[in-house]
Chains A and B, each alone.
Chain A
Amino acid sequence: MGTLSMLGPASEPSVFAASGVASTAWLLLALPAFGALVLFIGGRRTDGWGHLLGCATIALAFVWGVVEFFHSTGLPAGQREQNLHLFSWIPVNALQVDFGLRIDPLSLTFVLLITGVGGLIHIYSIGYMSHDRDRRRFFAYLNLFVASMLLLVLGNGFVTLYLGWEGVGLASYLLIGWYSDRPSAATAAKKAFLMNRVGDVGLALAIFILFAKLHTTQYTEVFARAHTLSPGTLTAIALLLLLGACGKSGQFPLQSWLPDAMEGPTPVSALIHAATMVTAGVYLVARANPIYDLTSSGRLLVVIIGAITLLLGAIVGCAYDDIKKVLAYSTVSQIGYMMLAVGLGPFGYALAIVHLLSHGFFKAGLFLGAGSVMHAMDDETDMRRFGGLFRRMPITAVTFGLGYLAIIGFPFLSGFYSKDPIIEAAFAQGGWRGWVFGLAAALAAGLTAFYMTRLVIMTFFGPARWQELKNTEGNDYHPHEAPASMTVPMVILAIGSVGIGAYLTIGNRLANWLTPSLGTLQKAENGPLSSIEVTIGTLVLAAIGVLVAILVVGRRQVPVTRPEPVAWPVRAARADLYGNALNETLVARPGQWLTGALVFSDRKGVDGMVNGIAALFGGSSGRLRRLQTGFVRSYALSMLGGSILLIAALLLVRFSG
């Protein structure tokens, strides 16, 4: 180590100035940003090799991330939180914001996830987007996204985080609206952008409060002085940060943009709307853990939001026929698990990150599998038109199947190691909270098993319903296995889906590694059920879900068009459990009323007053004008009258006083 400068007080884990390899961490950001810049400026000239540059920059960033990781593991645990000051960004009197990076176990974990999964999805995109004449621009957007996401997780203050936060929002907007000739894609992009703005307002307000109260936005100083804030302020900050997290992570009540975001190309859905960007909300809460540790009411709301969302996502996921929307609601639900876990505070931060990583692998794998199926089926997404694809695309089917087993929590696969501890920790809260949140999480695990089994059966098994159908251009379907550039990432992600959970959790490997950032993982023991009971109960629920799916979908003929009418729960689920209607009535409608009232008061009140005064003078002068008759004699009369009045007044004054 070079010069050590202590930034935090002794009570906090010390944050050291970065040195050695850590001082080159800016390369992590610079590489993808450089790629994006070259592709944006180069334009059509880079069409031939743009995609290769995009992949190369991410691959290099991944390699550099690994180097940083091993450098960090080589340090003593107490010195793993490092601060890299790059330059003074906003030096305005009292507002001093530095642009710097925080290299610590939490950010490095995210760096590896983003560049690793991101790199695989970049490679997959070469094949998936090969027919798109704007593939180079696609890679520019993807690089922009990766750079922004890395800034989000590496930034050493809330303002730097906000810059990355907006950057990923922009990239997400551009990529959802990639097929800009489709009105639905343009609408979905706008919806995502606007709903994210709602959350961003919360994040911005939280930053404003932090600055107003603590006069700084850097993590080190904020966290060191967080305990000096009043409980009300802390709760307000926690709630506003949660609002930001809800917007970005598609949590209740801002969840409805995420399924619509599936209008984007499938690699985008896999990278941005499953593995990385939508987990930024979880990152935010985990990063702000010193604040959440101090406010139990803030944490309780995080848990409630997580529990509502995980149930809502799982229920809606059961009703959709669009393969990507089912996966999207599954993402909503799984992020709900992560939210629930971070809301449990020291009992759950690390569990959330474990689930986030394993979810990053299996959900990205599932999305890439879905993309491969769509690629084979001429961009068809309706599962009712699939069926029996196992024979035609075995690699996709096997990798998808492994992701499927991982997400339903099949024993000894990733989901089993990452989801079960969350359910267990939810139960272990004790009291009514333990029962409510634990049961919600366990029930959603059963629902997850149901909808995922339904998806797999409808897509890969049963009769090949596509054989009697034509695609949108009127041709027969010719499903085929994807090219190697697509299957290789799928295989790697499938291996990750199988092994990552066990690798990270055995011996609490990840939790120990994250201890400098998130504190020690505590294990609550006062739950109503033992660990074994919870595991067995969850497995039984999942097995019931699988069985029901086999009975309902596997044993019956699947109609090619979706059956109508259906019972009210299915109707409600098909309508997203009225998420859109809720937003419409609670937010959009009153907003329209408010603007209507404001326009009315502006027209009638403000304008009315100004125009009224003008009309008063206009009208009265119009009437007074009539006195000018042009008759000299009438003027003479008024002169006479005036003179008489004057003289009368003079006389009156003279003789009365």
Chain B
Amino acid sequence: MTPTYYLVLSALLFAIGAVGVLVRRNAIVVFMCIELMLNAVNLTLVTFARINGSLSGQVMAFFVMVVAAAEVVVGLAIIMSIFRTRRSASVDDSNLLKY
């Protein structure tokens, strides 16, 4: 089992997440896609830690998880309040801040 497969998998996951962020309208789905991208990065970090035989990559993955958890708290709160005022969770509907 070479570490390359893990890297390929994480690249795939990252790409799926990125495409999801770009093409989906539902704020919850977009949010999940962002989580997917974060976890793809985590997988990369852990893989490289394994390859290099160093723990720093794994430590960084923990940091990412903490940040992701905090982000989920704030992000979901924002989505909830938007949904309450607009009865919609579409990211395209909240487009007032523009030219």
A-side residues, CB < 8 A to B, are: 625-626, 628-633, 636-637, 640
Contact = CB atoms under 8 A, between A and B. Distances in A.
A442 B8 CA distance: 120
Contact of A625 (B18, B96, B99): B99
Contacts of B95: 629-632
B98 A633 contact: no
B92 interface: yes
B22 A628 contact: no
B21 interface: yes
Contacts of B23: 633
8 contacts: A630-B94, A632-B30, A632-B92, A633-B22, A633-B91, A636-B21, A636-B22, A640-B18
Contact of B99 (A628, A632, A640): A628
B97 interface: yes
Given A630-B99, A633-B92, A640-B22, 12 more contacts: A625-B99, A626-B99, A629-B95, A630-B94, A630-B95, A630-B97, A631-B91, A631-B92, A631-B95, A632-B95, A633-B23, A637-B22
B83 to A, nearest CB: 15
A635 to B, nearest CB: 10
A630 B96 contact: yes
Interface of B: 18, 21-23, 25, 30, 91-92, 94-99
B19 to A, nearest CB: 10
A333 B81 CA distance: 101
Contacts of B25: 633
B6 to A, nearest CB: 20
Contacts of A631: 91-92, 95
8 closest Cβ pairs, A-B complex: A630-B98, A630-B95, A625-B99, A628-B99, A632-B91, A628-B98, A636-B21, A637-B22
Contacts of A628: 98-99
Contacts of B92: 631-633
A462 B30 CA distance: 118
A625 B92 CA distance: 19
Contacts of B98: 628-630
A631 B92 CA distance: 6
A237 to B, nearest CB: 69
A626 B95 CA distance: 13
Contacts of B30: 632-633
Contacts of B91: 631-633
Contacts of A636: 21-22
Contacts of A640: 18, 22
A640 B18 CA distance: 8
A637 B18 CA distance: 9
A637 B24 CA distance: 12
B33 to A, nearest CB: 10
Contact of B21 (A626, A629, A630, A633): A633
A631 B94 CA distance: 8
A78 B18 CA distance: 112
Contacts of A632: 30, 91-92, 94-95
Nearest to B21: A636
A640 to B, nearest CB: 6
Contacts of A625: 99
Contacts of B18: 640
B79 to A, nearest CB: 12
